[in-house]
Structure 1
Amino acid sequence: MADISDAHTATTPIAGRRVLITGGTTGIGRATAVLLASEGAKVFVCGRDETHLADALKRIREVGEGDGMSIDLAEEDNVARLFDAASAYLGGVDVAVINAARGAEGLTDMSEAELRYTIGSNFTAYLLSAQAAAKAMGAHGEDAKGSGDIVLIGSMSAYVLGKGSTVYAGIKYGIQGFAIALRRELGRKGVRVSLVEPGLTGSDMVGGTPEEQAERIAKEEMLRAEDIAVGVHYLLTQPRRAVVQQLTISPRMQDEE
């Protein structure tokens, strides 16, 4: 019999890991929660809409174990409330997938209130969530030694710096730099930090009816949320010595647009 012991690297199992996913009630977050729960992770998700939360939890519980809450992370103190609730349910946090975000118009098409809310939701809440995750994983403080994974869901919009994308792309570009620096800050403290940058992916943030999106997916001009979930799964299963710093996933045909 052939010796294949060195044909594949060691993998880190998903089963038994305690996973918090922000924006986990729709799109990429929901797909990731379902996939990880199906492999034995215990998951806690959040979103702003009660109906979406109920639908996501129904599906998660069909394949595994999970709970969640409806909350707006742009509001002061809500990130702390989320992590308290998640830690109480999960018994700790091993993985934090930071994904909650909203779309945005161009800078000159937004009111000051809309701009402040978008920054709070898409940027400030990301940083606060990463800070809370590091604390939950035992990596908060100069000499701390913890363990865990923080996955930031960014966007290929960080590379599309055109009119109409000023706010959204600017924030995602900032998340890209933040993720690289955070990996260096937390790596020696035992926490891996990864950035996943999806290309055009079907969701309620993207224009078009579900039928139109399905047609674009069939033409390979658009990804399914499940495609990104598989990418998150891949980086979480790497051996602890390895970190996938940045994973960009784009539709094969997107560059033709």
Structure 2
Amino acid sequence: MTDHADLHTSARPLKGRRAIITGGTTGIGRAIAVMLAGQGVSVYICGHDAGHLEDALTQIRAVGTGDGMVTELADPDKVRAFFDAGEAYLGGFDITVINAAVAAGGLTQMDEDALRYAIAVNFTAYLLSAHHAAHRMTPIGDMVLIGSLSAHILGPSSTVYAGIKSGIAGFSEALRRELGPKGIRVSLVEPGKVGSNMQYPDVPDDKQRAMIAAEQMLRGEDIAAGVEFLLTQPTRSVIQQIVIVPRALEGE
């Protein structure tokens, strides 16, 4: 006799879960935070700007519950303080989205201070955030790292950003193997072009809107939909890597 329970895979519900999101006040991070809040997840976010934080929390609280803080993740002590605050607010957490990043260009286009800052935010803070999450999350938990397709599309003006994101790609795959047996799933999301202030000044708002309308650029909500897919998989499986690109953009 057929056991019909084996004929399909049940989605893991999001309602009741708790999430910490770095860089959750704008762009991809904010879209993920709003999506999760709307699905019944309590969220705690951070960002650089008080106005952006207030706007993000307004959107989050319109559909669910959440809080956050303004901080500077380039400072290792503030990474710890952010996770302390998030853990205290949420009463524990089982989702971490590591997303906060700044734009970076070619190695010879950046001065030393800008280079150090990009490494501190885009790489060091990623690893420190993963370290805090790995020691604090309740199983079965999910850690999602937001990478970039820039890790694979290489050019002379992307050396620093591409190098960092390539490092994140290798780190996430190895971390999946390290943390999986401990009850934490690790996934990497690599978006293509997404409309956000990360595109400034090369792609201003009006051009971003035109590219999104032509389906040559994604919205943050498109990446959030991919994250929702990752988080709702059965606990026995993990989506190791997902690449999300605009359908109509040639050459990406």
Instruction: Output the TM-score relative to the length of structure 1.
Output: 0.93
Question: Aligned equivalents of 2:218 and 2:8: distance in 1?
Answer: 28
User: Within the alignment, does 1:158 sit opposite 2:151 as a pair?
Assistant: yes
- What is the CA distance between 1:161 and its match in structure 2? 1.7
What is the letter of the counterpart of residue 39 of structure 1?
A: Q
- What is the CA distance between 1:111 and its match in structure 2? 1.0
Matched-pair contact (CA < 8 Å) for 1:16–1:40 = yes
Question: Aligned equivalents of 1:76 and 1:235: distance in 2?
Answer: 28
- What is the CA distance between 1:4 and its match in structure 2? 7.5
Compare 174-183 and 209-218 and name the one that shifted more: 209-218
Matched ranges for 1:2-17 at <5 A: 8-17=8-17
Matched ranges for 1:96-107 at <5 A: 96-107=96-107
Percent identity between matched residues is 60
Matched-pair contact (CA < 8 Å) for 2:76–2:125 = no
Of 172, 187, 191, the residue aligned with 2:165 is 172
What is the letter of the counterpart of residue 87 of structure 2?
A: S
Aligned to 2:60: 60
The Cα offsets for residues 177-215 of structure 1, whole Å up to 9 and x where unpaired, read as 000000000011110000000000100001323222111
- What is the CA distance between 1:11 and its match in structure 2? 1.2
Question: Aligned equivalents of 2:121 and 2:29: distance in 1?
Answer: 15
Aligned to 1:125: 125
CA RMSD of aligned residues (A): 1.4
Aligned to 1:46: 46
Change (3 A) 1:109 1:43: same
Question: Aligned equivalents of 2:226 and 2:101: distance in 1?
Answer: 19
The Cα offsets for residues 90-129 of structure 1, whole Å up to 9 and x where unpaired, read as 0011100000000012100111111111000000000000
Aligned to 1:218: 213
User: Within the alignment, does 1:189 sit opposite 2:190 as a pair?
Assistant: no
Change (3 A) 1:203 1:7: farther
Structure 2: which 5+ runs fail to align? none
Question: Aligned equivalents of 1:105 and 1:38: distance in 2?
Answer: 35
SS at match of 2:96: strand
Matched-pair contact (CA < 8 Å) for 1:161–1:170 = no
- What is the CA distance between 1:160 and its match in structure 2? 1.4
Matched-pair contact (CA < 8 Å) for 1:15–1:40 = yes
What is the letter of the counterpart of residue 41 of structure 1?
A: V
Aligned to 1:111: 111
- What is the CA distance between 1:10 and its match in structure 2? 1.2
Runs of 4+ in 1 over 3 A off after TM superposition: 3-8
Question: Aligned equivalents of 1:70 and 1:4: distance in 2?
Answer: 50
Instruction: Output the TM-score relative to the length of structure 2.
Output: 0.95
Question: Aligned equivalents of 1:5 and 1:33: distance in 2?
Answer: 32
Structure 1: which 5+ runs fail to align? 139-145
Aligned to 2:141: 148
Matched-pair contact (CA < 8 Å) for 2:140–2:235 = no
Change (3 A) 1:147 1:6: closer
